[in-house]
């Protein structure tokens, strides 16, 4: 029963993690951004981006922890 619940939480955290990664704004323009204005490369992240980073890292930790627990078979 616990394995089933944790499996659904693992799947849910994976889907939320995908959405969170897609919500991030692109950090640069690729190789073309190197020759353009260099000042835009060194601006600090906004508060919203910082919060999004923190939430993304939290869901990544949950996802990886559950992946290890479920794959190791410690709950069987």
Q: Which tens digits make up the pLDDT trace of 57-74? A: 999 999 999 999 999 989
Provide the token pair at 44: 């600090």
Give the domain range for residue 8.
1-21+46-76
Does residue 74 lie in a domain region?
yes
Residue 33 in any domain: the answer is: no
**How far is Cα 41 from Cα 27, in angstroms, rounded to an integer?**
8
Q: Give CA separation, 26 vs 3, 7, 21, 29, in Å.
A: 37, 31, 10, 8
Tens of pLDDT, residues 8-65: 999 999 999 999 999 988 876 555 555 555 555 545 667 888 899 999 999 999 999 9
What does the alpha-carbon distance between residue 27 and residue 3 come to, in Å, rounded to a whole number? 38
Give residue 76's pLDDT band: very low, low, confident or very high (50, 70, 90).
Answer: confident
Number of folded domains that form the chain: 1
* Residue 40 in domain: no
- In this prediction the pTM is 0.75
- Residue 31 domain-assigned? no
């Amino acid at each position: 029963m616990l394995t089933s619940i944790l499996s659904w939480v693992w799947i849910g955290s994976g889907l939320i993690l995908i959405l969170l990664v897609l919500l991030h704004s692109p950090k640069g323009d690729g190789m073309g951004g190197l020759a353009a204005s260099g000042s835009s490369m060194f601006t600090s992240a906004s508060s919203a981006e910082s919060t999004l980073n923190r939430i993304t890292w939290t869901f990544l930790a949950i996802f990886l922890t559950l992946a290890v627990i479920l794959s190791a078979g410690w709950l069987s």
